[in-house]
Amino acid sequence: MAAHSLSPRSGMPASPTYAAPAGPAPSLDAGMSLVNLAARQRMLSQRMVLQTVLAAGGSDLHLKAARGTLAVFTASQAQLVDTPRHLEPADAERIRQAYSGPNGVGATIDAFAQQVGTALDLTERRSPRVEDALTRLVESTDAALEALNTATTVFDQVGKAKSETLMKELAGIVASIQTVAREAKVVSFNAQVMAARAGQHGREFAVVANVLSGITNEIDGLSLQAVSLAGRSRSVA
């Protein structure tokens, strides 16, 4: 069944979206990145078409499987469209434009999911109109894949931009740590000189200076590891 909502801008009915079948909500992988979640939609879309075609051929098993895949696809799509609420304004606007802007892909993806649902409904009722529904569904597959690819690309761009920002912040923090470590080394060196001049009376002071020197060396090592990890993370991204 198509669920309609009112567009906040025009007050006209928005593009229909296919409502997931009643039943337990499909579980989404909470650990999956948005990019991977968006990319998975492409795989799910192709799986749905194949399962729907097989279901129309009389397979109740594939009918049930197609329903399940459509439920996961619909829930995942809702999660992706809801993403802007959890992003910085600039990134949120990029996602909103990708789905709802003048050239947005949301309507194409929603229409595709609705076509799958319609074909499955007709299949379940053994309606003679299922052949026409399947034809329209298969013909719409390329457009749906293109729309899903566009959405995945936008999520990928947002993810990379966020990663770059984090790396810059990390580099700044590491630079500050290294500056403090250099200053501490100077203090440690001066303390060792003063302890040496004090002779017997400066022995305890010398111990403290040596400990401080060891700490600064450890800070140096940790900051270098952080720089190395940041570089490796950027190259992987």
pLDDT tens string for the chain (237 positions)? 333 333 333 333 333 344 434 333 334 454 468 889 999 999 999 999 999 999 999 999 999 999 999 999 999 999 999 999 888 898 899 999 999 999 999 999 999 999 999 999 999 999 999 999 999 999 999 999 999 999 999 998 888 877 766 677 677 777 777 777 777 777 777 777 777 777 776 677 677 777 777 777 777 777 677 666 655 555 434
Is there a single domain that holds both residue 204 and residue 87? no
Residue where a domain stops, chosen among 161, 177, 200: 161
Is there a single domain that holds both residue 200 and residue 220? yes
Is there a single domain that holds both residue 97 and residue 153? yes
Is there a single domain that holds both residue 173 and residue 141? no
Is there a single domain that holds both residue 118 and residue 208? no
Integer angstrom CA distances of residue 100 from 76, 92, 153, 180 = 17, 12, 15, 48
Domain interval for residue 91: 2-161
Q: What is the CATH number of the domain that holds 81?
A: 1.20.120
CA 144 to chain centroid, in Å, comes to 20
Longest dimension (CA), the chain: 103
Residue 17: CB atoms within 10 A of its CB come to 22
Is there a single domain that holds both residue 76 and residue 145? yes
Q: Work out how many domains the chain is built from and give that number.
A: 2
Residue where a domain stops, chosen among 107, 134, 161: 161
Is there a single domain that holds both residue 18 and residue 55? yes
Position 68, amino acid: G
Is there a single domain that holds both residue 127 and residue 174? no
Residue where a domain stops, chosen among 161, 179, 211: 161
CA atoms within 13 A on the CB side of 168: 6
Is there a single domain that holds both residue 49 and residue 114? yes
Nearest to 77, CA basis, from 147, 141, 2, 163: 147
Structure tokens at 175: 């630079």
